Structure 1
Amino acid sequence: MSGTAATGQELRLGTRNSRLALVQAERVSKELAHAHPAFQFPWQTVVVRGDADKTSPFLKFAGPSDAAKNIWTEEMEAKLCAGELDLLVHCLKDMPTRLPDTCTLGAIVHREDPTDALVIKEGLRSQYTDLAQLPRGSVVGTSSTRRKALLRYRYPHLKIEECRGNLDTRLRKLDDPEGPFSAIILATAGMVRINLHDRITKRLPPSEFPYAVGQGALGIEIRKEDTQTETMIRQIEDLPTRRICLAERSLLRTLQGGCSSPVAVHCTVEQSSPSSPAQLRLDGTIIHPHGTTLLWESATSEFRTDEEAEALGATVAQRLLENGGQALLEEIRQLQQEQKTANV
């Protein structure tokens, strides 16, 4: 395995093969090219397990820590470690908080609005603008364990069903006149990036519907010893965004939660006066998949360094664990194991 960048003036990007992933890779490539005009940044698509299996619910992939998230990254990481690619562009929310020993999160870039979006069926848009307005028994689609849990907790009158696929596929399923869905929940950022913001019925307020760790941001993964590439990609990084996301990821890592764990966050930057240092408030939430229990904790601190940000995430996670979170996560793990066994 090579520990340095590709020979010549070229760094090769890896990305998933979807319209959203390609838009994201193109944006990163263009910004890197602007920052480093002597280099080229071509991209290559890679088929990952999560795209190959578009029917199984994510609980099927559940496991300790971030095991479920490997379905979005493993195949690309193999090419990165083999030297076939030099950097990987991921949706940060799909990246495990613990990466392979030979890889590292080199930079965090381009965070769009991290909220979730309610999208109402085309034929119903004139009638409904909010989840609370949907009639009892209306079917809402999502593939996210977190979103399912929040929907069951906040809107028990609705029926929640699996809806997987890329954004275009899920929108087609939603708008099918013969299909079951009255609405689906998607990430606002993805809709904005592929110019579908006009389909968003409502951006769900994170105070009521907290979002996934890292949602809306892009993570750039590189080989751990590739210091040249790390230096180059750090030039397109926004430090506050990096540290906000590091705090969120630290919370998830401390909780040992993965893609199939109903863990949610809400971050806000607070400043009491123009002369005072900015502080980061991190709200952390764990929800039972059946929507029967919701635990919430919060903390605030300065975030001048990566270490301060990660300490904040660990603090909120520890408060959750000490106030019922440990028992709730164990119950969730048992439920996930039963689901996996049932799917075998």
Structure 2
Amino acid sequence: MDKVRIATRGSMLALWQAEHIKALLEKEHNVECELKVIKTMGDKILDVPLAKIGGKGLFVKEIENALIEDEADLAVHSMKDVPMELPEGLTLYASPKGECPEDAFVSNKFKTLDDLPEGSVVGTSSLRRKVQLMKVRPDLEINDLRGNVNTRLRKLDEGQYDAIILARAGLVRLEMDDRIASVIQPEQMLPAVCQGILGIEIREDDERMKGYLNFLRHEETMYRVACERSYLRTLEGGCQAPIAGHSIIENGQISMKGIVADLKGEMFVEAENSGSVDDAESIGKALADTILAAGGKSILDEIYGEEESNR
């Protein structure tokens, strides 16, 4: 029996994602899948916000090295953790149908964001979530929150926070959606680019793996990935800047909204774009170009300039 080696992080959510792909592959093909658990730098440094230590690439570099060195055949990522520039020779080949993209409001005491009393402490380490929270509720105290899903929920249960904001998809996948007090709609908090979508990365020349993975390429989801990652690539965005972007597809048309904000949550540049799904990539790029021209470039230049000067 042919064997497929799957590289993954060791968090509960990452393992669920890898096990999910493993089960689908074994059901579809006569193969044996083996999980190769890799501890990434992002898993080792838990007391510093990602924006200060190098961003989302901290969760994938060691895993990608396993692919490059032929120690694994594929890697399963949360697509929102994958940097825009992939190492030479690797490709994001498949994405199965995406899960719910929204953020979730999690609290033991309050039902919605609007219910929080003035001065309540909310936990998140996402700059995107922080600035959007600051816009709708400037009276809240927003504190950093790192760690896997269980760690974050434990800190909430210990009373360190009145509420925390998590990706809805992760809680649904871990069958912890009973912890969701309410779903935050994109109109109130625009999601991260590709939130809720999985990406399967392989070596570009691995025709065997392409054959195994073709059935997992969900067309609509991959159009969304093309649009949203093109948007983020054009903005040259990472964890260091508050960037949001979300697309929907209806009747062969893709519509995307994007936001770029400054770190204080005082300046927001928003725009929307739409067109045929066949033009998904160029629609994302054009949206980013519109935002850059409308003031987004000066916001990002200032953020990245400060980042350089602090190194």
RMSD of Structure 2 on Structure 1 (CA): 1.3
Paired residue secondary structure (2:194): coil
Report SS of the residue matched to 1:136.
coil
1:331 corresponds to 2:290: no
Residue number in structure 2 paired with 1:4: none
Structure 2 distance, partners of 1:71, 1:165, is 13
Q: For 1:22, which of 15, 21, 28 is the aligned residue?
A: 15
Partner of 1:318: 289
Aligned counterpart for 2:274 among listed residues 290, 300, 305: 300
Unpaired segments of 5 or more residues in structure 2?
none
Q: Distance in 1 between the 2:255 and 2:97 partners?
A: 20
Q: Contact between 1:264 and 1:285, CA under 8 Å: does it hold in 2?
A: yes
Q: Which residue of 1 aligns with 2:32?
A: 40
Give the TM-score, by structure 2 length.
0.97
3-state secondary structure, aligned to 1:83: coil
**Does the CA-based 8 Å contact 1:14-1:43 persist in structure 2?**
yes
Cα deviation 1:129-180 (Å, max 9, x = unaligned): 1212211111100121111111112210101100100000000001104x2x
Q: TM-score by structure 1 length?
A: 0.88
Tell me the amino acid that sits aligned with residue 21 of structure 1: A
Identity among equivalent positions (%) equals 38
Which residue identity lines up with residue 45 of structure 1 in the other structure? V
CA distance in 2, matches of 1:336, 1:182: 31
Which residue of the partner structure matches residue 281 of structure 1? 255
Residue of structure 1 in register with 2:226 after alignment: 246
How far 1:245 moved relative to its partner? Answer: 1.4
Determine if the alignment matches structure 1 residue 77 to structure 2 residue 64. yes
Runs of 4+ with deviation above 6 angstroms: none
1:59 paired residue among 40, 51, 62: 51
Structure 1 residue 190 corresponds to structure 2 residue 190: no
Moved more, 184-193 or 145-154: 145-154
Asked if the contact 1:146/1:289 (under 8 Å) is kept, the reply is no
Contact in 1 for aligned 2:259/2:268 (Cα 8 Å) = yes
Matched, 1:267 2:247: yes
Q: Is the 8 A contact 2:228 2:284 kept in 1?
A: yes
Write out aligned runs for 1:28-177 (5 A): 28-36=21-29, 38-62=30-54, 68-120=55-107, 122=108, 124=109, 128-177=110-159
Equivalent positions of 1:214-225 (< 5 A) are 214-225=194-205
Amino acid at match of 1:326: K
Q: Deviations over 1:217-240 (max 9, x none)?
A: 110011111122123212112100
Query: Match for 2:235 among 255, 262, 272?
Result: 255
Shift of 1:335: 3.4
Q: What's 2:265 paired with?
A: 291
Contact 2:112 2:182 in 1 (8 A): yes
- Tell me, yes or no, if structure 1 residue 208 matches structure 2 residue 188: yes
Report the alpha carbon displacement of residue 266 of structure 1 after superposing the two structures with TM. 2.2
Distance (whole Å) between structure 2 residues aligned to residue 74 and residue 268 of structure 1: 30
